[in-house]
Structure 1
Amino acid sequence: MLQNRFGKLAATALTGSMLMGAAACGGSEPATTAKPSEGASSAAPAAAGAKVGLAYDIGGRGDQSFNDAAAAGLDKAKPELGLAEAKEIEASNGETEAAKEERLRLLASGGYNPIVAIGFAYSGPVKKVAAEFPDVKFAIVDDAAATGANISNLLFAEHEGSFLIGAAAALKSKKNHVGFVGGVEVPLIKKFEAGFVAGAKAVKADVKIDVNYLSQPPEFSGFNDPAKGKTAATGMFDAGADVVYHAAGGSGGGVFEAAKAAKGLAIGVDSDQAKTAAADVQSVIVTSMIKKVDVAVFDFLKSFSTGAVKAGPQVYDLKAGGVDYSTTGGQVDDIKAKLDEYKQKIISGEITVPDKTS
């Protein structure tokens, strides 16, 4: 199996703004609710010799969160689907769409098929390059705006998972004061905030909620700046919050450090960060909003191996098990019954979780 992390292929980071794709749901085909895979699958003939290209968002493999979840899906696929090769590349903060396009174009022209783009920053580049290579299958995580006959949109109900996290934060807070740290203030991360606020207020209508975004588009360093994350969370703890949730990618490490210093609690995102974060901060992570990017990436690669790739939106929601909360460490054992009650009410439709802030 290939284990090496590949660097940039040809283009270096360029200055300029990134035009970001819309994060709201939509697309050229009706959305289908995904059913995450269970267990191992045997390799199909179409998988043999497949060369997979995977383009990470800012932070790349090793961010202990969003990108690492995608990497886990690829790592699972290598032996189970018999991939011949996997090439991994990553984005740099501040680069232009042209740089992303060129990377994707080099993968496609180099025989990599399928190609998976991790994050909505690839929206425009994926749409353009996929049109140039109609025989190559593309998938993009967290974006519904890039549409085409050979593009699969892997989407998640982040607001539903974040509702459970908001409820957990309010139930765990002794000061009736919690916080939310967002990486970049874009529609996708606002979905996390909307669900978190709704969940916290469902538990305690008068709960105080602090919100801080680390950067504003077109500046996307908020997804990979632990120092900014620590500063923002420290401010919240100093102001009286005792539980802080982050949706900030690699910046979350700083939030955990702030929680440890303040003797407070933190909540992770995307991966079960009580397992993936630095060992010295894992004890302050009460739970994480799990977003099963690994499952979505594996499902897409598996569908390619069997010739069953579908274009358009594939939605991984709470009902499908695409989002959830983690229980590592046992810190939510005392409130698990209440969280599961909320989960069932969301799944049944009794509770409709907002995906936008008011």
Structure 2
Amino acid sequence: MPSNRRKFLASAAGIGAATTAGCLSSLGGSGSSGTNVGVVYALGGLGDKAFNDMAKQGIDQAIEEYDINYQGAEPSGNSEFPTLQKKFADSNNPNYDLICTIGFAQAEALTENAEQYSDQQFMIVDSVVEKDNVASYVFKEQLGSFQVGHLAGLLTQRDFSTSGDGMTDASTNTDAATVGFVGGKENSLIKKFEAGFIAGAKHAGDVEVRSAYAGSWSDPAKGKEIALSMYDNGADVVYHAAGGTGTGVFGAAQERGRYAIGVDSDQSKSAKEYKDVILASMVKHVDTAVLTSVENVVNDEHAGGEVSALGLEKGGVEAVLGQTLGSEIPSEVKSALEESKSGIVNGDISVPTDPENA
């Protein structure tokens, strides 16, 4: 496989050099914990300012807290998942104490590899692999998406504007109560984001929700094209669950003077060039899942065979208001969000996972 199609990144305390593509070489000296961790990232790679970068944030925390050694691989296609997982599992220099597989698309490969490498400890994010050596971490994305949908639905029904201090002049269009959702690739996982968002927007009142999929996690131009169309057809707020494609949504919001909602990380910080149009982000704490899995291995308590489902009540997902626009959101809107969060947690509000039921 051509070396320019795959990057291996090495990072640990005192170690920053990249390894040679196509092989897993030694990371150098061991950290004080003596723990080696390999990570196979999701498609789109690092620098997406969202899902993969949140996983890397968890690794960075683990490096800081446990002085682990780390090496990461960024695949360019689904066909590389089995090989990359095997490369880590086959490595003897170093031996990997934990292999983190980031993203539901790795489940099929991991199911086979976990059986073949029964003594190897694995973890997976966004899917369940029922093997005794795999710790599975899933999230209730629909719950956090309901929250940001509720926010969007409330704001599209009122006269809301922001400007000043070099910010983009942005406002809602009071002629229509309309919001939008842009997904990356259409699958059951991203449908959970869409379903929650639609349900949240409708919980706010008579709000129209338009949805579209870009078919890619790394096509900002397509994301921008879709979002521009939504804004031009009356949408005040567009929420994306599209990885790197979502930066195009933010660009469209700035061009049209409308608003956007980020995903996975607090994108008013990770994509701060767009902070003046990002109302909030549906933060999905992939970093917590990664850090917890590493911590368990360091403490010789790998949660193999267990499934951890993280939602609002456990801080696995949350609606985080933007660092710039959060203070501009009316207090009554914030109070309504707290009420809907309580309703979800205590079971008074049921949130669908399928857009057809939203």
- TM-score, normalised relative to structure 2: 0.84
Verify: 1:191 aligned to 2:192, yes or no. yes
Asked if the contact 1:191/1:356 (under 8 Å) is kept, the reply is yes
Verify: 1:128 aligned to 2:129, yes or no. no
Long gaps (5+) in structure 2: 1-12, 25-30, 157-171
Asked if the contact 1:47/1:306 (under 8 Å) is kept, the reply is no
Q: Could you give the per-residue CA deviations for residues 285-315 of structure 1, whole angstroms, max 9, x where no partner exists?
A: 0000010000111011101111222223111
Q: 340-349 or 303-312, which moves further after superposition?
A: 303-312
Compute the displacement of 1:319 (Å).
Answer: 0.6
Q: 1:251 aligns with which of 245, 257, 280?
A: 245
Q: 1:151 aligns with which of 113, 126, 134?
A: 134
SS in 2 for 1:103: helix
Aligned residue runs from structure 1 range 285-304, under 5 A: 285-304=278-297
Q: Higher RCO, 1 or 2 (CA under 8 Å, sep at least 6)?
A: 1
Task: Give me the CA root mean square deviation.
Answer: 1.9
How many residues in Structure 1 have an aligned counterpart in Structure 2? Answer: 312
Whichever residue aligns with residue 52 of structure 2, its letter is N
Distance 1:132 1:160, change over 3 A: same
Q: Could you give the per-residue CA deviations for residues 267-290 of structure 1, whole angstroms, max 9, x where no partner exists?
A: 00000000001x432210000001
Q: 146-155 or 46-55, which moves further after superposition?
A: 46-55
SS in 2 for 1:245: strand
Whichever residue aligns with residue 295 of structure 1, its letter is T
1:226 counterpart residue number: 220
Whichever residue aligns with residue 113 of structure 1, its letter is D
Aligned residue runs from structure 1 range 238-317, under 5 A: 238-277=232-271, 279-310=272-303, 311-317=305-311
Whichever residue aligns with residue 68 of structure 1, its letter is D
> How many percent of aligned residue pairs carry the same amino acid?
39
Distance 1:6 1:184, change over 3 A: farther
Distance 1:332 1:321, change over 3 A: farther
Verify: 1:170 aligned to 2:171, yes or no. no
Q: 291-300 or 331-340, which moves further after superposition?
A: 331-340
Asked if the contact 1:123/1:140 (under 8 Å) is kept, the reply is yes
Instruction: Give the distance between the partners of 2:330 and 2:35, measured in 1 at CA.
Output: 43
1:68 counterpart residue number: 53
Long gaps (5+) in structure 1: 12-45, 216-221
Asked if the contact 1:7/1:90 (under 8 Å) is kept, the reply is no
Compute the displacement of 1:3 (Å).
Answer: 4.2
Instruction: Give the distance between the partners of 1:261 and 1:238, measured in 2 at CA.
Output: 11
Instruction: Give the distance between the partners of 1:10 and 1:126, measured in 2 at CA.
Output: 19
Whichever residue aligns with residue 343 of structure 2, its letter is K
1:200 counterpart residue number: 201
SS in 2 for 1:184: coil
Asked if the contact 1:162/1:193 (under 8 Å) is kept, the reply is yes
2:96 counterpart residue number: 112
Distance 1:349 1:132, change over 3 A: same
Asked if the contact 1:7/1:88 (under 8 Å) is kept, the reply is no
Q: Could you give the per-residue CA deviations for residues 88-126 of structure 1, whole angstroms, max 9, x where no partner exists?
A: 101214x42xx2111111101112220001101101111
Asked if the contact 1:237/1:264 (under 8 Å) is kept, the reply is yes
Instruction: Give the distance between the partners of 2:330 and 2:20, measured in 1 at CA.
Output: 42
SS in 2 for 1:351: coil
Q: Could you give the per-residue CA deviations for residues 123-179 of structure 1, whole angstroms, max 9, x where no partner exists?
A: 1111111111111111110012x2201011110000000000100111121431000
Larger Rg: 2
2:209 counterpart residue number: 209
Instruction: Give the distance between the partners of 1:295 and 1:307, measured in 2 at CA.
Output: 18
Instruction: Give the distance between the partners of 1:325 and 1:5, measured in 2 at CA.
Output: 35
- TM-score, normalised relative to structure 1: 0.84
Whichever residue aligns with residue 80 of structure 1, its letter is E
